[in-house]
Amino acid sequence: MTRPRLWFVIESRTDVRLVEGLAQDFELTLMMRPTVGRPTSVSQTPSTSVSIVDGPLRRVPFARRVASEVYRHRTEIDVLLVQGYSITALAANLVGRMAGLGTIMLVCSPTEAYYRSRRVAADPSSVFRWRELVGLEVLARLNAIVGQRYVVLSDHLRNIVGGHGSVAGRRARTLPVSVIPLYGVDTELFSPSSEPKAAIRARLGLPVDGNLIFFSSRIAPEKDADTLLAALRLLADRGHDVRLLHRSGGHREFAQRAATMGVESLVIATGPVHPHKELPDSYRACDICVQASREEGLGFSVLEALACEVPVVAAGVGGLLETVIEGQTGWSYAPGDADALARQIANVLAQPIEAERRSRVGRQLVLDRYEKSITFDQFARLATGLQSPRRSRI
């Protein structure tokens, strides 16, 4: 049986683990919009061979190019996968219907909620404009009209896209929604280590003494780095020996924000590391992983931390409420509350036995629901079932 041919339309950035996972089950073609200042829209160079179709930088020309290329290659495509519910998704959904292609919108984040975070974030680089928010909401509803199916990462996102077909409070149309948390977690790579933390830190060149907090989110209004930095300041003022390890493409901006808040000496900020070769040890070297978000679709960082049995503190918002359950798998706090976050971090450090218990429960949750083999198998079955008989190849 020949593998189905999947085209994955990437309007923004995507994780290499998603690309590599899809390439195992499909003949994969990536159609990518360039990312400003980056050579590719994929977080790392894939280890598997994929075909690539490059598009223009601007969103509207990219959407037009997607429509043109997909229609031109329609006989070479079995399933069409497109990020989100943007103008590019609208173009893909329209041409998918014209060409008789099974088309899936992969929704990893609540776009409108992320955009609304700009209103409360003290970030001059992220300007909030009402007309842009209205435009996002209109696109969401148009995609709900012309689209065929959603794949979402969490129940939270299922509820969000389920409302896109509503007009004036009345449900006009409901598309099928499958909750599949792609790309999942490789629980063999992300696993507890028998090596002492001090040894891991020494090997990675990190401080051996004191408590280390891990934060790997990108710098964006919805990720709320400022609340975490404020909590770090409070912890230091209260006598806690803590440092913060940050790894992301926005590490320079993060370091600048730390300096502005007077905690630069407590922050170790570096660029992103390879998700297979280096990232697991970054979790294992730390005492706590924090996900400080104003909004969140799911949040893979906390799942990777729990898979390594590292205690987690997360904002009680969005998809994080499904994974970081207060009293069971981690500690939760009200988003934006730096004092509450500082108190929860202190609670974890003061209760090592309880922290170990919750982390073990958390790893079992990841094994049961978020292991990568489970999630990719679910998607492969769904996508293969969308092929029309005339497109199936033996």
Angle between helices 225-237 and 338-350 (to 10 degrees): 60
Domain boundaries, the chain: 5-184+373-385, 197-369
- 197-369 fold: Rossmann fold (3.40.50)
CA gap 209, 241 in Å, rounded = 9
**pLDDT classification of 321: cutoffs 50, 70, 90:** very high
Q: How high does pLDDT run on average in the chain?
A: 93
pLDDT (0 to 100) of residue 166: 65
pLDDT (0 to 100) of residue 394: 37
pLDDT (0 to 100) of residue 32: 93
pLDDT (0 to 100) of residue 282: 97
Q: Considering the entire predicted model, what is its pTM? A: 0.93
**pLDDT classification of 244: cutoffs 50, 70, 90:** very high
Average pLDDT over residues 194-208: 96
Residues 89-124 pLDDT 10s: 999 999 999 999 999 999 999 999 999 999 887 666
Residues 140-159 pLDDT 10s: 999 999 999 999 999 999 99
Alpha-helical segments (H) within the chain: 16-25, 59-72, 87-99, 111-116, 130-146, 155-162, 197-204, 225-237, 251-260, 279-284, 300-307, 338-350, 352-369, 372-385
Residue 171 pLDDT > 60 = no
Tokens 């294992």, residue located: 284
pLDDT (0 to 100) of residue 42: 86
**pLDDT classification of 229: cutoffs 50, 70, 90:** very high
CA gap 124, 237 in Å, rounded = 28
Residue 285 pLDDT > 50 = yes
CATH number, domain 5-184+373-385, options 3.40.50.2000, 3.40.50.970, 3.40.50.300, 3.40.605.10: 3.40.50.2000
Alpha-helical segments (H) within 205-307: 225-237, 251-260, 279-284, 300-307
Average pLDDT over residues 299-323: 98
pLDDT (0 to 100) of residue 344: 98
Average pLDDT over residues 336-356: 98
Average pLDDT over residues 78-92: 97
